[in-house]
Amino acid sequence: MAGDSTRSVHEAEPYDEETGSITTPIYETSTFGFTKAEEVPRAVAGGGGYVYSRWDNPTVVRLERKLAALEQGGDGAAFSSGMAAISTSIFAFLKKGAHILGIRDLYGGTYALLHDILPTLGFSTDLVETSDFGALERKVKGNTSMVYIESPTNPTLKLVDIAKAAKLAHANDAILLVDNTFASPINQNPMGLGADIVLHSMTKYINGHADLIAGAAVAGKDRAHTIKMMRRDFGGTLDPIPAWLILRGMKTMALRVRQQNVTAMALAEFLSTHKRVAAVNYPGLKTHPQYQLAKKQMKGFGGMLSFEVKGTTRDAMKFTESLKVASLAASLGGVGTLVSQPYNITHTQMSAKERAETGIPETLIRVSAGIEDEEDLVSDFRQALAAV
């Protein structure tokens, strides 16, 4: 099997048959014509061919196939946002009265979906302490139909043993969904560890340039087809222009992510010895409580870390305002380093009590390491901490 960089460049992108173009064309069309009427029913049923770009589009399909290959899946489904991918994939497999089991450390939008929205629709959910696998085992019920996890988690960088979670789900006839956004396909492949559906905000590492919004789900061919059919009705389909931009971004994904791994490690090591830092969360540090698990299930430790500033909420704000190379902004995974305080931007859906229980104090800073020279970033963080 070819390596990640080779597949990121070449997978699912043959030369254009008509022109020989080595890049995928943008099929910016809403609908597709037929020369034979008998071909229509098969295309409508999803058996091949194109009908309408809300259903399928050749540019988008190339992207879906490339990502599926990198994630060791049968096929993918691309969406207009990560939350569209998450919500559509969940609803595609929910049955009346189902129970959903998940972890507490989740992206704010996902937390709101599982904790607040699904219970109002007649589904029951349990979100347990992420680092306590026994809590997951104890909360399994007879009607548990899916287990939902992130690993590493946002923004606490906790890990879940994906292989164990898959065995737990399958032993109870449930499916395992894994949000792999923080790791990216370059650092981790959950389907190789037993996951049934892998989810991404392609806004982040897959595109990598902070210039569009997109999401994706990868699964075996049958489950991916089910998700795509649900996508037709929910309508969160990705447009071909951002799909083309993501295909372009993916060609350098392995190079970007590997540099971001290096940059994040340099920042984590620097911060772990700084007198103004109370704690650092990064799975690549040997002091991380799940360092051995990270070595076991990840190919790289990732470009995300978080740390607590010693002092007050205002001290943490002063740090973010004092940075000159890194930027204070939402999102992650781009070529530029970004910092944020999760309590007031990414996890506002949680109450203060819920954030405290999850390990998200107001002094926590989330860092998305970019591809800048690590010496410049360490220097920037040093001067910003001195300003606190």
What's the whole-model pTM score?
A: 0.96
pLDDT at 295: 98
The 10s digit of each residue's pLDDT in 233-257 is 999 999 999 999 999 999 999 999 9
Q: What is the rounded distance in angstroms from the CA atom of residue 343 to the CA atom of residue 313?
A: 10
The 10s digit of each residue's pLDDT in 83-134 is 999 999 999 999 999 999 999 999 989 999 999 999 999 999 999 999 999 9
Mean pLDDT of 350-376: 91
pLDDT at 237: 97
Mean pLDDT of 322-345: 95
All domains of the chain in start order, with CATH:
4-250 (3.40.640.10), 253-386 (3.90.1150.10)
pLDDT at 370: 98
Residue identified by tokens 């704010």 is 108
pLDDT at 65: 98
Q: What is the rounded distance in angstroms from the CA atom of residue 33 to the CA atom of residue 120?
A: 42
58's tokens: 């050749």
Determine contact, residues 87/135, Cβ cutoff 8 Å. Answer: no
Angle at which helix 240-250 crosses helix 58-70, to 10 degrees, equals: 40
Q: What is the rounded distance in angstroms from the CA atom of residue 141 to the CA atom of residue 36?
A: 51
pLDDT at 359: 84
Mean pLDDT of 49-69: 97
Residues of the chain with pLDDT > 70, as a percent, come to 100
Closest listed residue to residue 279, CA positions, set 239, 242, 309: 309
Closest listed residue to residue 184, CA positions, set 258, 273, 286, 234: 258
Amino acid at residue number 329: A
Mean pLDDT of 296-308: 98
pLDDT exceeds 90 at position 48: no
Mean pLDDT of 301-327: 97
Q: What is the rounded distance in angstroms from the CA atom of residue 320 to the CA atom of residue 196?
A: 38
Give the mean pLDDT of the chain: 96
pLDDT exceeds 90 at position 345: no
Task: Point out the residues that are catalytic.
Answer: 54, 107, 179, 204
DSSP-derived secondary structure for 43-74? HHTTSSS-SBTTT--HHHHHHHHHHHHHTT-S
The 10s digit of each residue's pLDDT in 141-181 is 999 999 999 999 999 999 999 999 999 999 999 999 999 99
Closest listed residue to residue 174, CA positions, set 140, 123, 218: 140
CA atoms 46, 50, 52, 58: torsion sign: positive
Amino acid at residue number 250: M
Q: Where are the alpha helices (DSSP H) in the chain?
A: 4-10, 40-44, 58-70, 82-92, 108-112, 118-120, 133-139, 162-171, 184-187, 221-234, 240-250, 253-271, 291-297, 313-322, 352-358, 374-386
pLDDT at 226: 97
pLDDT at 53: 96
Determine contact, residues 99/169, Cβ cutoff 8 Å. Answer: no
Residues in the chain: 388
Mean pLDDT of 192-211: 98
What are the two backbone dihedrals, phi and then psi, of residue 203, each rounded to the nearest 5 degrees? -55, -30
Q: What is the rounded distance in angstroms from the CA atom of residue 233 to the CA atom of residue 244?
A: 23
pLDDT at 386: 97
Beta strands across the sheet bearing 144-150: 75-79, 215-219, 197-201, 175-179, 144-150, 99-103, 124-128
pLDDT at 284: 98
The 10s digit of each residue's pLDDT in 214-239 is 999 999 999 999 999 999 999 999 99
pLDDT at 350: 79
Q: What is the rounded distance in angstroms from the CA atom of residue 136 to the CA atom of residue 132?
A: 7
